[in-house]
């Protein structure tokens, strides 16, 4: 019985917790819906479409405005096109003369603009070169000052070292060169003389070499001569 009551109490506790969790989730969903307010997903979609349509219209208007501005500038610089189909010879000559004069003026303006651009580039280059020259000059001055300071410090250090040596009563020993001793040279000469005497005392032996013909001419010991065979 006690086990059944414990199980029932445990089951009731689980159900109570589930109910609390369910209630909490419902409240959270209600709060979320309340936060959404007026903007539903469908309305958001419609708003996006309207914004895209408005942006497309604005882009089209901007393109038309740029095209009109371009045409206006071309008309200002080049003038309106002339009607040469229905023009007679005098009109054609006047049109050609006007175009020729305009081309000459444009070439002059082009030359002036190119000259102005080249002049500005040269001035900018001069400024850059001057800045670099000033920087190099400054660096050289700093380098000379540093070298002078280093030499000054070296002189002060050597002076202090000499003063310290004078106070201690010690003098700097000069570096001596390594000189070979006379005894070592004499020993080498004696060794060479002994080797020379030993070589002279050796007996020179000459090895006699015989050719094949000489060996054939000499009689063999085993063979007897002709006078020995005669009786």
Residue with tokens 């050597």: 158
Residue 145: per-residue pLDDT? 92
Residue 56: per-residue pLDDT? 93
Give dist(CA 214, CA 131) in Å, integer.
102
Q: Is-contact 71 80, C-beta < 8 A?
A: no
Residue 85: per-residue pLDDT? 76
Cβ contacts of residue 47 below 8 Å, gap of 6+? 39
Question: Rg of the chain's alpha carbons, rounded to an integer?
Answer: 61
Q: What is the pLDDT along the chain (231 residues), one digit of tens a residue?
A: 556 777 778 788 888 888 888 888 888 877 766 555 567 788 888 889 999 999 999 999 999 999 999 988 888 777 777 777 777 888 888 888 888 888 888 899 899 999 999 999 999 999 999 999 999 999 999 999 999 999 999 999 988 888 877 776 655 666 766 666 555 666 777 777 777 665 555 555 555 554 555 555 555 555 555 565 554
HEC string of 122-140 equals HHHHHHHHHHHHHHHHHHH
- CA dihedral angle for residue 69, residue 75, residue 77, residue 80, rounded to 10 degrees: 170
What pTM was computed for the model? 0.33
Domain boundaries, the chain: 44-81
């Amino acid at each position: 019985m006690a086990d059944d009551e414990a199980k029932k109490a445990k089951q009731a506790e689980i159900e109570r917790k589930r109910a609390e969790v369910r209630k909490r989730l419902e409240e959270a969903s209600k709060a979320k819906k309340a936060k959404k307010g007026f903007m539903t997903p469908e309305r958001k979609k419609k708003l996006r479409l309207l914004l895209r349509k408005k942006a497309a219209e604005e882009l089209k208007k901007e393109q038309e405005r740029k095209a009109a501005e371009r045409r206006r500038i071309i008309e200002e610089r080049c003038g309106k096109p002339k009607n040469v189909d229905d023009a007679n010879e005098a009109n054609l000559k006047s049109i050609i003369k006007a175009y020729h004069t305009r081309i000459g003026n444009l070439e002059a303006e082009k030359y002036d603009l190119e000259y102005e651009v080249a002049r500005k580039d040269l001035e900018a280059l001069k400024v850059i070169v001057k800045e670099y020259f000033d920087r190099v000059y400054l660096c050289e001055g700093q380098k000379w000052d540093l070298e002078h300071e280093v030499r000054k410090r070296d002189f002060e250090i050597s002076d202090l070292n000499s003063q310290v040596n004078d106070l201690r009563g010690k003098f700097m020993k000069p570096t001596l060169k390594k000189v070979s001793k006379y005894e070592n040279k004499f020993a080498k000469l004696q060794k060479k003389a002994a080797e020379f005497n030993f070589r002279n005392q050796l007996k020179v032996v000459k090895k006699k070499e015989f050719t094949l013909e000489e060996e054939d001419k000499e009689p063999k010991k085993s063979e007897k001569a002709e006078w020995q065979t005669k009786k």
